[in-house]
Structure 1
Amino acid sequence: MPDEPAADVQAVLDAIEAMDAPDYHELTAPEARDLRRGFFDDDGADASADAADRTVPGPGLEIPVRVYRPDADGPHPVVVYFHGGGFVLGTLDSRDPICRTLATDAECVVVSVAYRLAPEHPFPAAVEDAYAATEWVAANAGAVGGDPDRVAVAGDSAGGNLAAAVSLAARDRDGPDVAHQALAYPVLDYREDGYPSHEENATGYFLEAAGMAWFDDHYVDSWVHRANPYLSPVAAASHADLPPATVVTCGFDPLRDEGLAYVDALEAAGVPVTHRHYEDLIHGVASMVADPVDTRSGREVLAQFAADLREALHGRPPEPQR
């Protein structure tokens, strides 16, 4: 393993350190949201994917979503996308560059979901919102220009957790037929099992132990939830009959070993897995693809993520770029 992250990512870490801003885990949730707002928001994304905001029915409420359509004739596969942010932070805007890229490069409709956030809405509110949105998309794919037989779930970090949880819930509840689950550096185990990566990458690599504890305290309001598979998908009694998966892990990420554990669990259950491991990258790198934080590493990770989704949903790799 390298001694430090890739040069372009290390430059981002150095710039964050030089900002001398307060750590969000020293703030209230609303203060932290204000601090983070705009940090990864897009000011100049490729606008080739058309986007429109709407709501879909949820558990006693309307859930805001943003629908991205590729510039090509459909119907297209649909990817229901869940943003990261520790279940406390994150917005539709914060993942706009990712969703536009997936819509264009994977040639699919992307439905990005603004699920309820903690601490105002602790576990399992986000899971139930994510499941309800996926259920609606599967039943109403034509309304967004999508193909109901090719519905996938995807997400980064906390959103990766939700994509895995929705995959489990769809199996357990005889729900939507999920064609694929694509998880970028997901959080997958709240049982405090002492993964080595938690200690190895506790500080200095964007997502830190203190921040993880802050997210944990906001999202998980009782210890009784920790082994619930919809909170800790690695802890599921069985991983059989789950959708094929793409799982991204990064060497300098405290969540690295949770991702590896999920890959192992899926493979042991006979679920096809494409595992992309980036030894010299950090948590959150796929969001570093637009001003004010734009890296070559982030673009490469996101391009491969889109390529894997395209192959999974279309049965073919990306077309050569001219």
Structure 2
Amino acid sequence: MKAVIWRGLMAIGMKFHHLADPKPPSPNFKILIPSRLSAAGGQFKLVFYVPESYYTDTDEDYRYPIVVNFHGGGFTLGTGTDDARWASAVLKNVDAIFVSVEYRLAPEFPFSIGVEDGTDALIYLAAHAEELRIDPHRMALSGFSAGGNFAFTVPLMLRDLQNDTGRRSLHDIANTHPLNNYKSSSTLSLPRPALTRTSSAATSTHSILKLSDLEPTSLEVDQKIPDLTIRAIVSFYPPTDFRSTRAEKRSTNPAPEKNLPPFLTNLFDESYMPGCNVDFADPYLSPAAATDAELAAAYPQDIVLYTCEYDMLNVEGTEFGTRLASKPIEKTLHGGLIRAVPHAFDKKPNPLSFPEAANKCYNEACAQLKRVFGGRVSIEERTQLDEVEVVDRYNEEEAAAGRRLAKGKERQREEDTDGLLKGPDIYDPNFKKYLTVPKR
């Protein structure tokens, strides 16, 4: 009941959030797909935002890059339209298809169903790449908060499936395909007939969404994982390590009054991780618990990670990011710590304006996506946030400090006095303790 109430309140907040100019787009269409990984079975929606050229391009052979997104909400709240502003930035700057996964929410669907839904979504999109005009070798994942966690955990599950480790397996798709009777929302436009291979053009948004030709592919029938390539991960303020307690996480925030209230985080944790049977060191829950070899193999070379200074998740996010950039993993890390902002700073229910820092973050992340998808990007596009000096970049000194920091047990705000590291913590090996410095 609590989750239902908070979902309603969040929906109201997102309506206000979407009122600010420029207003974000509405989805173009939705597809209902079957769950094949979860023991719970069932189905869930994929929400599509597509470039204008998707309907007008006469080159039927062209395949669009795709960004698969996971919304936030503590694994308990939210919908696939929450990140419409991020979708708008991707459409404008990257010219890619944007698909938001409406994964099923806790407590009705606790861990690890959300991760399974996200992995199912990738497999489905790659299997139906031809019908949907998707290039399965130009895929990227993105997510916010809980969705940022999925952006890191879904590749781990996908890798295990590809290697047939036995941790998860695909269920038989027979008799589970739900698309033939799926109807579109009255506010959604339809895919063009050339895409869906329908017999006539749809002239009304009240028409049935003709997706009957998206029948199970041979890959799905044969229980095979389609060939796909994840080119980048974009993650905003994600939780990456549930091995630490909420109290430990809260103590890292230099502005504790900006933490999410305990009654809300308790709801999230009790909903997604109920009882005592959840292993907090499971990499599908805590990607930071994965081995270096697992992370190196599952993740693409390019990682875009943003954390928020006034956020209880900042320390673990920074630790995880610097670990990814360090030996032996050595991924290319972009993004940084955004100063003086709280968790979900870009989702404020403000109908009058959208934060400048959030807009610049989005554009900067889009520049990295455009680059990994094969587009040319200017230095100005890649460094938008430097213009307003609100972000602290990851660098080699921070990576080295992050390795030392991971060995420490205390969690409090510190800062490197020589200016090489402006992250949330710094472990001083000379004094074998954390430094304490004044707040900015």
Aligned to 2:49: 68
- The answer on 1:84 being equivalent to 2:65 is no
**1:68-127 per-position Cα deviation (integer Å, ceiling 9, x unaligned):** 111245522101100000000111232222222222222210111100000111000101
Aligned to 1:240: 296
| C-alpha distance in 1 between matches for 2:125 and 2:334 | 25
| TM-score, structure 1 normalization | 0.82
Say which is worse superposed, 281-290 or 156-165, in terms of deviation: 281-290
CA RMSD of aligned residues (A): 2.6
Say which is worse superposed, 259-268 or 167-176, in terms of deviation: 167-176
| C-alpha distance in 2 between matches for 1:319 and 1:52 | 35
Name which of 178, 187, 203 aligns with 2:230.
178
CA contact (8 A) 1:206 1:282 kept: yes
Distance 1:149 1:236, change over 3 A: same
Aligned to 2:33: 56
Percent of aligned pairs sharing the same letter: 29
Distance 1:142 1:311, change over 3 A: same
Aligned length: 295
* Equivalent AA in structure 1 for residue 106 of structure 2: A
| C-alpha distance in 2 between matches for 1:45 and 1:279 | 24
* Equivalent AA in structure 1 for residue 47 of structure 2: R
Q: Which runs of 5+ in 1 are unaligned?
A: 1-26
Name which of 257, 263, 267 aligns with 1:214.
267
| C-alpha distance in 2 between matches for 1:49 and 1:31 | 24
Distance 1:255 1:320, change over 3 A: closer
- The answer on 1:136 being equivalent to 2:124 is yes
Distance 1:49 1:318, change over 3 A: farther
- The answer on 1:265 being equivalent to 2:323 is yes
Matches within 5 A, 1:185-224: 185-192=237-244, 198-201=250-253, 203-205=256-258, 207-223=260-276, 224=278
Distance 1:226 1:128, change over 3 A: same
For 2:28, what is the secondary structure of its paired residue?
A: strand
* Equivalent AA in structure 1 for residue 333 of structure 2: V
For 1:97, what is the secondary structure of its paired residue?
A: helix
C-alpha deviation, 1:295, in angstroms:
2.2
**1:243-297 per-position Cα deviation (integer Å, ceiling 9, x unaligned):** 1311111111111012112112212312222132211222112334973662222
CA contact (8 A) 2:65 2:136 kept: yes
For 2:83, what is the secondary structure of its paired residue?
A: helix
CA contact (8 A) 1:70 1:103 kept: yes
Between structure 1 and structure 2, the one with the greater Rg is: 2
Name which of 299, 310, 313 aligns with 2:370.
310
| C-alpha distance in 1 between matches for 2:7 and 2:80 | 13
CA contact (8 A) 1:190 1:232 kept: yes
C-alpha deviation, 1:145, in angstroms:
2.5
Say which is worse superposed, 197-206 or 88-97, in terms of deviation: 197-206
| TM-score, structure 2 normalization | 0.62
CA contact (8 A) 1:57 1:133 kept: no
Distance 1:49 1:149, change over 3 A: farther
C-alpha deviation, 1:310, in angstroms:
1.9
Q: Which runs of 5+ in 2 are unaligned?
A: 163-224, 382-440
| C-alpha distance in 2 between matches for 1:301 and 1:178 | 21
For 2:29, what is the secondary structure of its paired residue?
A: strand
Say which is worse superposed, 256-265 or 80-89, in terms of deviation: 256-265
CA contact (8 A) 1:97 1:289 kept: no
Distance 1:117 1:231, change over 3 A: same
Aligned to 1:284: 344
| C-alpha distance in 2 between matches for 1:215 and 1:88 | 6
C-alpha deviation, 1:169, in angstroms:
1.5
**1:156-202 per-position Cα deviation (integer Å, ceiling 9, x unaligned):** 00001011011112222215432211101111111116796531437
- The answer on 1:230 being equivalent to 2:284 is yes
